[in-house]
Amino acid sequence: MKPIRVALLGCGTVGREVVRLLHEQADELAARAGAPVELAGVAVRRPHKHADLGDLLTSDASGLVTREDVDVVVEVIGGIEPARTLLLEALKAGKSVVTANKALLAEDGPALAEAADASGVDLYFEASVAGAIPLLRPLRESLAGDRITRVAGIVNGTTNFILSAMAASGASYADALEEATRLGYAEADPSADVDGYDAASKAAILASLAFHTRVNSADVHCEGIRAVTAGDIAAAATMGCVIKLLAICERTPADESMPESVSARVYPAMIPATHPLASVDGAFNAVFVEAEAAGQLMFYGQGAGGAPTASAVLGDLVAVARNRVLGGRGPRESAYASLPVRPIGTLRTRYHVSLEVVDRAGVLSTITGEFARHGVSIAAARQTGEGNGNGSARIVVVTHKAPEAALAATVDVLAGLDVVHGVHSVLRVEDLGRKGVAG
């Protein structure tokens, strides 16, 4: 059988493992794909660091992706450029593409899909979300006969490690981040993880597949975990909750402001300690998918790391190789539904608001009055303090579901009141119940 020839772009954490598995499992991969899968070349930035790859090495990635003897391009460089230009060149030249690049897919996925369609070749990207966990193929293929209502979960290992460490030991955010860096989970510049952008890219990809709608990273409301304090974690515990950085993609029903739409958002939220996502600790990922006929499905496993991510890359590579051997293509982009994306302000969420206030009679009623004035219904309010007019008291308010915009306006007003020393924290409370609805 004529071999399937692979150009590998990038040979770092993931790329090195792709090379190892291609080499170690060559016979089995050939049997599964229906033809030998061979490396044709490996493009890196600094070839001197990869001398063991010998003649396969090149620093001319552009030349490699259009070479006559290349069938498939595997991209594990990351970032927008030069990855975008290289992949567009490869697709135009009739090469199928496998990529782990969530940032690029979330920013410009449709351009890649259109280039793949124009050339009649494959575009696979299982490794771009949740590392080793088979998640995109179930959304694209296994659930293609169902109507997905929600995809929600933990899709960033670094932040889950930090929040788990804070919950386990009472550590501060800064100390937990230092530990994550020491153990190699967080990068030197951890902002893509801790500011939520990595999870937002993944949410854009998940929402696009689940709801047959183009959703890009700019459509995803994104808040990270930098502001989460040990006090927030303790407050969550007193409510029987834990705090997790969630990516939530929902089909939201029509209401007075919008037709049926899609919501995609990333933020730290309190979830019940009894929910299965609450016990996902360390750098693991877990995602709940809800579909009308299938009900709830949970996907769990290693969402990062060289070997787990390479497993997903190799799975895609075998799929592409099979398509080449047998003829035909894998699934194309499906964006027929074209649902509008719901602005965050119209979503309805429960909130936990913690305030530092003047410790005297009537303050609780002033505070709860502001919630009422903005139409935000209170589920519970608790005040701690001596009530003697000296010093501060702490007021914690938990709301029923309320529009984000109304809650934000309430908090703005509260922050400006004379009797409020400060808004200590504002956290969403997600019950992650059965129905993926806006309110």
- Catalytic residue numbers read 202
Is residue 100 within the footprint of ligand NDP (CB under 6 A)? yes
Report the residue from 20, 23, 45, 400 that binds ligand NDP according to the rule CB under 6 A: 45
Q: How far apart are CA 148 and CA 251, in angstroms?
A: 8
How many residues does the structure list for the chain?
Answer: 439
Q: Which is nearer to ligand HSE, 157 or 315 (CB)?
A: 157
Report the residue from 17, 126, 193, 250 that binds ligand HSE according to the rule CB under 6 A: 193
> In whole angstroms, how close is the CB of 267 to ligand NDP at the nearest point?
21
Under the phi-then-psi rule, with left for phi > 0, alpha for psi from -120 to 50, and beta for the rest, what region is 57? Answer: beta
Output the six-digit token pair for 155. 């899709």
Q: How far apart are CA 156 and CA 242, in angstroms?
A: 16
**Residue 158 partner contact from ligand NDP, ligand HSE, none using kind-dependent CB cut-offs of 5 to 8 Å:** ligand HSE
Interface stretch with ligand HSE, choices 44-52, 142-150, 155-163, 169-177 (CB under 6 A):
155-163
> In whole angstroms, how close is the CB of 202 to ligand NDP at the nearest point?
9
Q: How far apart are CA 154 and CA 163, in angstroms?
A: 11
Give ∠ CA 3-5-11 in degrees, rounded to 5: 140
Is residue 196 within the footprint of ligand HSE (CB under 6 A)? no
Q: Restricting to residues 265-324, name those near ligand HSE by CB under 6 A.
A: 303-304
Is residue 217 within the footprint of ligand NDP (CB under 6 A)? no
Amino acid at 359: D
Give ∠ CA 394-398-399 in degrees, rounded to 5: 140
The two most distant CA atoms of the chain are separated, in Å, by 86
> In whole angstroms, how close is the CB of 201 to ligand NDP at the nearest point?
8
Is residue 198 within the footprint of ligand HSE (CB under 6 A)? yes
Amino acid at 140: R
Q: How far apart are CA 416 and CA 320, in angstroms?
A: 59
Binding site for NADPH: what residues are annotated? 102
Interface stretch with ligand HSE, choices 38-46, 65-73, 109-117, 152-160 (CB under 6 A):
152-160
Amino acid at 95: K
Is residue 76 within the footprint of ligand NDP (CB under 6 A)? yes
> In whole angstroms, how close is the CB of 187 to ligand NDP at the nearest point?
9
CA nearest neighbour of 269 among 304, 323, 215, 233: 233
> In whole angstroms, how close is the CB of 131 to ligand NDP at the nearest point?
5
Binding site for L-homoserine: what residues are annotated? 187
CA nearest neighbour of 98 among 127, 136, 119: 127
Q: How far apart are CA 336 and CA 108, in angstroms?
A: 17
> In whole angstroms, how close is the CB of 77 to ligand NDP at the nearest point?
4
Total chain residues near ligand HSE (CB under 6 A)? 8
> In whole angstroms, how close is the CB of 123 to ligand NDP at the nearest point?
15
Report the residue from 3, 34, 82, 343 that binds ligand NDP according to the rule CB under 6 A: 82
Judged by DSSP in three states, 114 sits in helix
Binding site: what residues are annotated? 102, 187
Interface stretch with ligand NDP, choices 76-84, 90-98, 382-390, 393-401 (CB under 6 A):
76-84
Which residue shows structure tokens 């003829």? Answer: 327
**Residue 156 partner contact from ligand HSE, ligand NDP, none using kind-dependent CB cut-offs of 5 to 8 Å:** ligand HSE
The answer to whether the beta carbons of residues 73 and 65 sit under 8 Å apart is: yes
Which residue shows structure tokens 């302000």? Answer: 345
Q: Restricting to residues 333-372, name those near ligand NDP by CB under 6 A.
A: none
Residues 6+ apart with CB under 8 A from 246: 152, 153, 154, 266, 267, 268, 269, 271, 277, 430
The answer to whether the beta carbons of residues 61 and 30 sit under 8 Å apart is: no
Amino acid at 274: T
Interface stretch with ligand HSE, choices 88-96, 150-158, 331-339, 348-356 (CB under 6 A):
150-158
Is residue 385 within the footprint of ligand HSE (CB under 6 A)? no
Site map (CB under 6 A) of ligand HSE, residues 157-186, x = contact: xx----------------------------
Interface stretch with ligand NDP, choices 66-74, 248-256, 302-310, 371-379 (CB under 6 A):
302-310
Q: What are phi and psi of 272, to 5 degrees?
A: -60, 140
List contacts with ligand HSE (CB under 6 A): 131, 156-158, 193, 198, 303-304
